[in-house]
């Protein structure tokens, strides 16, 4: 595992990288309010036969909090990720996105077409729920996250995770705390998060970036990966998406909430690795 700071479209970008050249590269996109550190338990297994890159998205972690024009929102984040893929020199690649990261992954697939060979969509209400459901969910998300961002402590971060997960084993997320607390303590981090959630819950601003109505355009094979007890993304919407996406399958993890990569890492790593290998 290694960490680098890259320039992606004029944005200083922190990335976690693992693996070697040879297989289809994999881009990992984290949920809103998190950072690439979420993927720490997954990267060694997922990079066994391919290069893997997990960036801190614009406005998150230790990447710049806004783009060079001072913007944050769906558009600037999408542009940031597209610029990162080009900076990495990737042509064909796969993406696994969790929650908001999955919405960005689908938007990138719509933009890059056949360059995106495979997609993993993990517990994403922002991608698959109705506009009204998405706004209601994001308002709860904002309330949960702002407690940690405005008063970062080990306890507020643990509470936030507990509200998202279903029976997360004791100590399973302790590795996240140092990076999360440091990122939340950055000057302007809470303000950038609030501005992003304002943009995501404004219908007129967010509507051009909705993907639920465009799922039929996604040509790449898609793995929908859901926790049965996800409190942020309704499983029924993933089941509906199976009838719309041209080439999709659904895997449901039992006793699992919003973050299956963290709650059940071994099962998650095996399921995703098999899918990426074409199994």
Show the domain range for 253. Answer: 2-276
Residue 255, CB half-sphere, CA atoms under 13 Å: how many?
7
Please tell me the distance from the alpha carbon of residue 88 to that of residue 239, in angstroms, as a whole number.
34
Beta strands in 139-210 (DSSP E): none
Determine which helix (DSSP H) or strand (DSSP E) holds 88, and give its type and residue range.
helix 74-88
For the residues 67-92, what does the mean pLDDT come to? 97
- Eight-class DSSP state of 169: P
Number of domains in the chain: 1
Residue 195 has pLDDT above 80, yes or no: yes
Rounded mean pLDDT of the chain?
96
Residue 254 class from Cβ within 10 Å (0-12 exposed, 13-18 middle, 19+ buried)? exposed
Q: pLDDT by residue (tens digit) across 96-153? A: 999 999 999 999 999 999 999 999 999 999 999 999 999 999 999 999 899 899 999 9
For the residues 25-50, what does the mean pLDDT come to? 97
Residue 21 Cα distances to 39, 84, 92, angstroms? 20, 17, 13
Q: pLDDT by residue (tens digit) across 48-79? A: 999 999 999 999 999 999 999 999 999 999 99
- Partners of 4 in the β-ladder: 15
Q: Measuring CA to CA, which residue among 123, 69, 114, 147 is closest to residue 219?
A: 114
Instruction: Answer for the pair 267, 43: CB distance below 8 angstroms, yes or no.
Output: no
Q: Provide the pLDDT for residue 22.
A: 85
Q: Provide the pLDDT for residue 23.
A: 92
Please tell me the distance from the alpha carbon of residue 50 to that of residue 45, in angstroms, as a whole number.
10
- Eight-class DSSP state of 31: P
Determine which helix (DSSP H) or strand (DSSP E) holds 2, and give its type and residue range.
strand 2-8
Q: pLDDT by residue (tens digit) across 180-193? A: 999 999 999 999 99
Write down the pTM of the prediction: 0.97
CATH code: domain of residue 129: 3.40.50.1820
Q: Provide the pLDDT for residue 279.
A: 54
The SS3 call for residue 23 is strand
């Amino acid at each position: 595992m290694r960490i680098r700071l890259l320039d992606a479209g004029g944005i200083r970008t922190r990335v976690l990288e693992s693996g070697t050249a040879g297989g289809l590269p994999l881009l990992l996109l984290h949920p809103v309010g998190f950072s690439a550190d979420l993927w720490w338990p997954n990267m060694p297994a997922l990079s066994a036969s391919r290069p893997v890159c997990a960036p801190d998205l614009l406005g998150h972690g230790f990447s710049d909090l806004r783009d060079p024009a001072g913007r944050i929102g769906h558009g600037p984040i999408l542009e940031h990720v597209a610029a990162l893929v080009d900076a990495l020199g990737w042509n064909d690649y796969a993406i696994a996105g969790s929650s908001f990261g999955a919405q960005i992954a689908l938007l990138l697939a719509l933009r890059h077409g056949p360059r995106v060979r495979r997609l993993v969509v993990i517990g994403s209400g922002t991608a698959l729920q109705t506009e009204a459901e998405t706004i209601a969910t994001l308002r709860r998300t904002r309330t949960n996250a702002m407690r940690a961002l405005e008063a970062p402590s080990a306890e507020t971060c643990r509470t936030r995770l507990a509200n998202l997960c279903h029976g997360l084993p004791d100590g399973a997320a302790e590795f996240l705390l140092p990076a999360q607390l440091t990122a939340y303590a950055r000057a302007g981090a809470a303000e950038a998060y609030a501005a992003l959630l304002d943009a995501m819950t404004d219908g007129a601003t967010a509507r051009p970036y909705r993907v639920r109505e465009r799922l039929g355009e996604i040509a790449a094979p898609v793995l929908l990966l859901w926790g049965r007890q996800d409190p942020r993304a309704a499983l029924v919407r993933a089941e509906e998406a199976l009838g719309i996406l041209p080439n999709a399958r659904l895997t449901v993890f039992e006793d699992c909430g919003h973050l299956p990569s963290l709650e059940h890492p071994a099962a998650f790593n095996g399921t995703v690795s098999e899918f990426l290998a074409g199994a």
